[in-house]
Amino acid sequence: MGLIRDVKVLTGGRDWRGRSRTPRSAAAHEPPEPPREFPTGWARTQVAQAARRALQRGVLTPLTWSQTRPEVQGRERLDALKGPVVFVANHSSHLDTPLILGSIPAHLSKRVAVGAAADYFFDARWRAAVTALVFNAFPVERHRSRRLRSLAPYLLAKGWSLLLFPEGTRSEDGWMSPLRLGAAHLCVTQGVPIIPIALRGTYAAMPRGRNWPVPGRARVVVRYGTPLHPAEGEGARAFNVRVGESITQLWAEEDLGWYGSLRAQARGELALPSGQQYPTGSWRRTWESTRPLVDRAPRRAWRS
Amino acid sequence: MSRPGFVLEVDERTPALLMHEGEGFRLEKLPLGSRVIYPPESLPGLRDLDAHIRHALANPLGREPLHELLRPGMRLTIVFDDLSIPLPPMRTPDIRQRIIEQVLELAAAKGVDDVELIAGNALHRRMTPAELKRTVGERVFRSFFPRHLRNHDAEDKANLTEIGQTRHGEVVEINRRAAESDLIVYVNVSLTAMSGGPKSVSVGLASYRSLKHHHNVHTLRHSKSFNDPPNSAMHHSYNRMAGLLDESVNIFQIETTVNNDTFPDYVGFLNKREWEWNLKDQASYLAVKRANDLAPPKQRRQIWHRTAAPYGVTSVTAGDPIQVHEVTTRHVLRQQLTEVDGPADIGIFGLPYICPYNVNSIMNPILVMSLGLGYFFNLYRGQPIVRPGGVAIYYHPVRNEFHPVHHPSYIDFFEEVLAETTDPVAIETKFEEQFATDPWYIHLYRNSYAYHGVHPLYMWYWGAHALEHLGDVIFVGGNRKTTARMGFRSASTLDDALEMARERVGGSPSINYLHAPPLTMADVR
């Protein structure tokens, strides 16, 4: 009886893993998290690569393509490129990574690692293991905290191309945030080119908070830009500005067309699509960002 | 980096909280809104302790380096704190051993032959040879015991010397050998802010004639608290005595402080905050609690008393007693002090299995009173954690058991004196002299291992301030008869205790719980 009573008192207020929530008044006194680095080296072994290829080609890409209508543009710009490179894209949905991984040209797609938020994807071991296996993800510290030494330079040195989302997190409302310097700095110091990518329609197809795309196979666009090489003596800030301008132009291409977006950029009419024309908190921000992309494909002559 | 102390406010997320209850512990769900006072996390211990000791002896505060104070032909007396601190006893090698060995190395190098080692046990029981050996180490013990390593005898009139009287008429009488030495090296462990400094020699080596000037009801009622020396009448008395001693004896004080690593790893959950317990902590809590509850009482006590604390030493300071003690007190408070915003209607205290007077012994009801209403109640600065007229709730079984060898006068005090009165002043007036001068008690103190006859009365005085301050005292899980004999009440559960406290503090009282383990001192604003 005593044991049962002790167990009841002990487990009261704890979850099935025996964890207690931190009392509110103790929240400011939480211990600093011990450095904990999830090893990802195993996910780059031959066996893991083969498993990943099977998972991506057999499950992930078909599933993504079945739930959305992806339109991939500008892939030919990568034809002459050899790895490693850094793919940099805007980020507003969990669809972004599968869409990019499923659309990267074959000669680059075999060796791509994805930077994933350490505090989100690597906080639980099971999630870290799945993320590392399926996406070849490696942890990225996004709060400038403390602990992890970035794996990115090491991976580039080993010939892995990287996919990074320099906004640092998925967009809250579908619009873009300023690009952080990390990716540009990495490319400037390592001397590798950046491939800018603009993703349109992914927020409307699967916004934050959803774990499955909206019904109806929403149209999404993956648009690859011209590779950008850091110029001789160019600093990370200047290079980052160029990357931002390139993504902005690719974003506008959806609305203005290729030539129209180039002209608009030449006239200085383009700015990072941060939705600043809509006041913060306005319903119109979300309304506009969830607007389905206009279907530009020619009508099919024959319908079944 | 250790986290600072803080006050937890119990909310619906707060799990049951740990508390001592004698030779056991329990988790208790406190009412919502209760405040729980946690000390700073255990500070890191010094890494190369021997190097720190060497440095302290060579660079003392307000004194020449120790090796310069030593010379051939001198009389050197090394006095050390007895087994009453630290609590629980520390893992060997004891810090006193490490210091004494270095002092003796220096003395040997300087050719000092006349060396005596004395335990500063005042009216405490003598330490057994095994306890002495554990404290000073094998090498020192073999070299000096029994002729030159001994306990202080406060009743050996021939070996006591009256130094003089303070301006308040307080007699200062200490051990003759120490008084006539060219140098006294005092080796101290400061577990709380009350110990060390002027208290060391003036109390540790004193006699009843000297001790009665500060160990009395009046002084203790005006020591608010005795862990806050500037506001403690008891420490004012120590200071006056130490001032007098300073004129006639040369004291080289070596003080140390320890961190809050009170329990070994296998009961590591005792040192952790409850919501941070992992599965291993919870499993070991259940296993240790069940094993402890099911163990026969004798074995249970033996196991607890064999538990040695893996303390880290946080400071070693040597030199002039006053200057050294300032540093020491800062280190103690750095480890224990937590700021609290005002007292509450009810103070809750979990009392452990050990107090300064039952090391390797039994915690009898008088010692429970002294620990609860004396030591724990006085772990404050500013004001007590309970408001005047409030209620103190203690967790302890308060069994009617005594160690007949160690505490003979306690038995008579409990059976005869407390049956007549529990008023400290009445006890002091009517019974103190009788207990202090009883030849049988004196004989047992000098020749057996008994505490001095007057010691249980001192223990009662120790709680005099709390008795005056509190409206009611309730022991959760306490034996009804023994608690009633002492003028307290007992309750089966915390809910019952809170119900009993209603008449004093109403139906929705504010509650402060002084979290123990580990040792916590409240700075109540």
Q: Which residues contact A39 (CB under 8 A, 6 or more apart)?
A: none
Chain B residues with CB inside 8 Å of A14's CB? 15, 282
- One-letter amino acid at A228 equals L
Cα dist from A178 to A89, A204, A240, A271, whole Å:
12, 20, 10, 11
Closest CA–CA distance from residue B265 to any residue of chain A (Å) = 19
The verdict on residue A156 lying in a domain is yes
Nearest CA in chain A to B30: A9
> Do you find a cis peptide bond into B439, omega within 30 degrees of 0?
no
CB contact under 8 Å between A25 and B286, yes or no, is no
Q: What does the pLDDT look like over A250-266, one tens digit per residue? A: 999 998 888 999 999 99
Q: Which domain holds residue A203?
A: 41-289
In a domain, A63, yes or no: yes
Q: What is the pTM of this model?
A: 0.74
Comparison of pLDDT for B454 and A81, the residue scoring more:
B454
Q: Which residues lie closer than 8 Å to B458 by C-beta, 6 or more apart?
A: B123, B215
**pLDDT on residue A148:** 56
* Mean pLDDT, rounded, for A181-187: 92
Please list, in sequence order, all residues whose beta carbon lies within 8 angstroms of the beta carbon of residue B234, skipping any fewer than 6 positions away: B214, B215, B219, B220, B223, B226
Q: How many CB atoms lie within 10 A of CB B497?
A: 24
Chain B: give the shortest CA distance to residue A37, in Å: 20
In a domain, A139, yes or no: yes
From the list B15, B286, B289, the residue facing A14 with the nearest CB is B15
User: Largest Cα–Cα distance in chain B?
Assistant: 71
What is the sign, positive or negative, of the torsion defined by CA atoms of B152, B154, B158, B162?
positive
C-beta atoms of A29 and B286 within 8 A: no
Q: What is residue B509's predicted lDDT score, i.e. its pLDDT?
A: 96
Q: Would the CB atoms of A3 and B290 count as touching at under 8 Å?
A: yes
Closest CA to B315 of B4, B5, B44: B44
Q: DSSP 3-state assignment of A269?
A: coil
pLDDT confidence of residue A298:
62
| B 14-43: CB under 8 A from A | 14-16, 26-29
Helix (H, G, I), strand (E, B) or coil at A62: helix
B278 close contact with A: CB closer than 8 A: yes
Mean of pLDDT values over A130-159: 84
Q: Is A11 exposed, middle or buried (0-12, 13-18, 19+ CB in 10 A)?
A: middle
Contact criterion met (CB below 8 Å) for A165 and A198? no
Structure confidence at residue A111 (pLDDT): 92
pLDDT means per 10 residues in chain B (525 residues)? 90 95 95 96 94 97 96 96 94 96 94 95 97 95 94 96 96 97 97 93 96 97 95 96 94 96 91 92 94 94 94 96 95 96 96 96 97 97 96 97 97 97 97 97 97 98 97 97 97 96 94 93 95
Q: Determine contact, residues B57/B254, Cβ cutoff 8 Å.
A: yes
Residues of A with CB under 8 A from a CB of B: 2-3, 6-7, 9-14, 17-18, 20-26, 28-29, 31-32
Measured CA to CA, the distance from residue A153 to residue A135 in angstroms comes to: 18
Judging contacts by C-beta atoms under 8 Å, the chain A residues touching residue B13 are: 13, 20-24
Domain annotation covers residue A2? no
Distance from CA of B7 to the nearest CA of A (A): 8
The verdict on residue A210 lying in a domain is yes
In a domain, residue A79? The reply is: yes
Q: Name every chain A residue with its beta carbon within 8 A of the beta carbon of B8.
A: 23, 25-26
Q: Which residues of A touch B7 (CB under 8 A)?
A: 25
Rounded Cα distance between B456 and B474, Å, is 21
Q: Is the pLDDT of residue A147 over 70?
A: no
pLDDT at A285 exceeding the cut of 90 = no
Inter-residue contact A89 to A163 (CB < 8 Å): yes
Q: Report whether pLDDT(A35) > 80.
A: no
Q: Which helix (H) or strand (E) covers residue B442, if one does?
A: helix B439-447
pLDDT band of residue A276 (cuts 50, 70, 90) is confident
Rg (alpha carbons) of chain A, rounded to whole number: 22
Q: Report the pLDDT value the prediction gives residue B172, as an integer from 0 to 100.
A: 96
In 3D space, the residue among B326, B421, B424 whose CA is nearest the CA of residue B374 turns out to be B424
Nearest to B195 by CA among B234, B156, B167, B137: B234
If you average pLDDT over every residue of chain A, what do you get?
89
Domains held by chain A: number = 1
Peptide bond just before B88 cis, omega within 30 deg: yes
pLDDT, position A33? 66
In a domain, A18, yes or no: no
Each residue's pLDDT tens digit, A82-130: 879 999 999 999 999 999 999 999 999 989 999 999 888 888 889 999 9
CA angle B419, B425, B426 (to 5 degrees): 40
Note whether A6 contacts B10, CB cutoff 8 Å: no
In a domain, A199, yes or no: yes
CATH number at residue A61: 3.40.1130
Of A7, A10, A31, the CB nearest to B3: A31
CA-closest candidate to residue A251, choices A229, A279, A220, A273: A273
CB contact under 8 A, A18 and B282: yes
Q: Assess whether pLDDT exceeds 90 at residue A283.
A: no
> How many angstroms separate the CA atoms of A91 and A163, rounded?
11
Containing B517, the helix (H) or strand (E) segment is none
Half-sphere exposure of B258 (CA within 13 A, CB side): 26
Q: Can you tell me the ipTM of this complex?
A: 0.86
What domains lie within chain B, and their CATH numbers? 6-33+341-524 (3.90.226.30), 49-258 (3.40.50.11440)
Tokens of B388: 């005047």
Residues in chain B: 525
Q: How far, CA to CA in Å, does A116 sit from each of A105, B130, B310?
A: 21, 62, 42
Residues of chain B with C-beta less than 8 angstroms from the C-beta of A146: none
Q: Please report, for residues A202, B201, B426, B430, B433, the alpha-carbon distance to residue B457 in angstroms, rounded to integers and kept in the order given.
A: 81, 22, 11, 11, 10
Q: Tens digits of per-residue pLDDT, A43-74?
A: 999 999 999 999 999 999 999 999 999 999 99
Looking at the partner chain, which of A23, A28, A29 has a beta carbon nearest the beta carbon of B13? A23
Compute how many other C-beta atoms are within 10 angstroms of the C-beta atom of residue B392. 25
